[in-house]
Structure 1
Amino acid sequence: MAVSPPVCDFGAPWHDFTLPGTDGRTYGLADVRGPRGTLVMFICNHCPYVQSIIDRIVRDAGRIQAAGIGVAAISSNDADAYPEDGFAEMKAKADRHGFTFPYLYDETQAVARAYGAECTPDFFGYNARGELQYRGRFDQSGRSKGPDDARPELLEAMLLIADTGRGPDKQVPSMGCSIKWKHG
């Protein structure tokens, strides 16, 4: 079932974390934050919403990083129930798609809960002061990739944040698969 997160809570603070990356390093917020902002995205391997845009995410992440914004992707799904979202599979996906940003594993799901992540993909765009400025969609894509000329909403928002410290007033919420929470 598709899930849509709430609209942006402008000014909400980011949350620190310490998570293992698929590159063998451990990352905290200080390791991924950029001088002009930070994008924290919750994704996973098996979600068709993520699969439909993963190449666009990698493409736009490069432009976002070039603008001085740090980027990190986090998978918080229950890998026991969804083995395709396990750490080894995450590493393979990052390698296959040429991720230029850390792909982190939130095994306890504490980071997803702290951020209030609800779906994959779920994007949290912060300004340089760590204030939430974007909680919208990537573009108009859904379970299937949108048109090649789809407006790059996330990219535009993050570049605006890099330039002004403020995200767009009008944002369309992301839509995707629910986070696969552990039970028990």
Structure 2
Amino acid sequence: MAVSPPVCDFGWKAPGFRLPATDGRILSLADVAGPKGTLVMFICNHCPYVLAVLDRIERDATELQAMGIGVAAICSNDATTHPDDSFENMARMAQERGFTFPYLHDEDQSVARAYGAACTPDFFGFNAAVELQYRGRLDASGRNPAPPDARRDLYEAMRQVAETGHGPRDQVPSMGCSIKWKAA
């Protein structure tokens, strides 16, 4: 079932975290933050929405990192019910695809809850003061192939954040599969 997150709560401060990365490190928010902002993405291995746009996520992450935006991806899904999202499979995907950003495992789902993550993909774009400035979509394509002239909503918003410290006022929410929460 497709889910959309709420609109951007401008100025909301990013909660800290310390999570294992697929490369064996333990990373905090401060470790992944960039001098001009930070993009925290909730993704997973199995979601058709994520898989359809992963090439574009990788392209945008690489270009944003070159601008001084720190980028990290977090998988918070319950790997018991969704084994494709296990830490081992996350590590395999990160290595096979050559992620330029850390892929972090939120096994107890505390970070997803602290951020209010709703779906995969769910994008949180922060300025240099780690204040939320973007919570929107990657682009208008959803899980369809993007036309060559598709506006790169996430990239353009984060470029604006890098340059001005502020995100665009008009944002369209992302859409994707719901976070796979563990049974209570």
Q: What TM-score does the superposition give when structure 2 sets the normalisation length?
A: 0.98
Q: Report the counterpart of residue 26 of structure 2 in structure 1.
A: 26
Q: Report the counterpart of residue 16 of structure 2 in structure 1.
A: 16
Q: Report the counterpart of residue 131 of structure 1 in structure 2.
A: 131
Q: What do you get for the CA RMSD once the two structures are aligned? A: 0.7
Q: Report the counterpart of residue 45 of structure 2 in structure 1.
A: 45
The equivalences for 1:107-126 within 5 A come to 107-126=107-126
Which string of whole-angstrom CA distances, capped at 9 and with x for unpartnered residues, describes residues 48-78 of structure 1?
0000010111111011001101000000000
Provide the rounded CA distance (Å) in 2 between the counterparts of 1:142 and 1:68: 27
Give the gaps of 5 or more residues in structure 1. Answer: none
Q: Report the counterpart of residue 162 of structure 2 in structure 1.
A: 162
Provide the rounded CA distance (Å) in 2 between the counterparts of 1:143 and 1:162: 27
Give the gaps of 5 or more residues in structure 2. Answer: none
Percent of aligned pairs with the same amino acid: 67
Asked whether the equivalents of residues 53 and 143 of structure 2 are also in contact (C-alpha less than 8 Å), the reply is no
Letter in 1 for 2:15: H
Deviation of residue 150 (structure 1)?
1.3
Asked whether the equivalents of residues 52 and 141 of structure 1 are also in contact (C-alpha less than 8 Å), the reply is no
Which string of whole-angstrom CA distances, capped at 9 and with x for unpartnered residues, describes residues 116-161 of structure 1?
0000000000000111000000001223232232111100000100
**SS of aligned partner of 1:22:** coil
Letter in 2 for 1:88: E
Provide the rounded CA distance (Å) in 2 between the counterparts of 1:63 and 1:146: 18
**SS of aligned partner of 1:100:** coil
Q: Report the counterpart of residue 78 of structure 1 in structure 2.
A: 78
Letter in 1 for 2:144: S
Deviation of residue 183 (structure 1)?
0.5
- Classify 1:35/1:116 alpha carbon distance in 2 versus 1 (closer, same or farther; 3 Å): same
Q: Report the counterpart of residue 144 of structure 2 in structure 1.
A: 144
Q: Report the counterpart of residue 176 of structure 1 in structure 2.
A: 176
